Amino acid sequence: MRWWTHLYMGENASRNRVSILEGMRKGKMLVDTYVITLPESGNHILDILPVSLLTRQQRDGKDFLVLGIARGYEEAAQVVRSMVDDMYQKTGAFNWKAYMESLPEKSGAEYGDWQEQ
C-alpha cells in the first residue's frame, strides 16, 4: 500500500491520523474507517473502501494507492466531494489521473510509501 503525497483526510480522520495510519500499517481492524482509492472499474472517478474489508493482498499490493482517508461513510463522501471539486477546478474535467499529474511534486516524507515487513 502506498500513500499519495497529497493525501486527503476528513476532519475526524485527521484528529486520529497517527492511530489510523499506524493501525493500517499493522493491518488492524479499524471500524468505520474508509480509504479513497483510484477506481477498480473504469466507470467511476474514485472508490470508497472500508479498511476493515481490505484484503491482505490489497494492503500489501504495490499498486494500491490511498488517496484519502475518512472516519465514517458520510465523511468519506464529503472527502470525495472535496477531491472531485478540487479536480474539476484545477483541470476542468473529471479525470483524476490528469489532476494528479497537474499537482507539484512533494517529498512524500510526511506520509511516504510503505509496505508491511
| pLDDT (tens digit per residue) in 83-92 | 999 999 988 8
Q: 5: pLDDT confidence band, cut at 50, 70 and 90?
A: confident
The reported pLDDT for the residue numbered 109 is 39
Percent share of the chain, pLDDT over 70: 82
Where in the chain are the domains?
A: 2-102
* C-alpha to C-alpha distance for 32 and 50, rounded to whole angstroms: 7
pLDDT digits (tens, 9 = 90+) for 92-115: 888 888 888 888 876 443 444 433
How far from the centroid of its chain's Cα atoms is residue 17's Cα? 13
The stretch 70-88 carries a mean pLDDT of: 95
pTM for the model stands at: 0.79
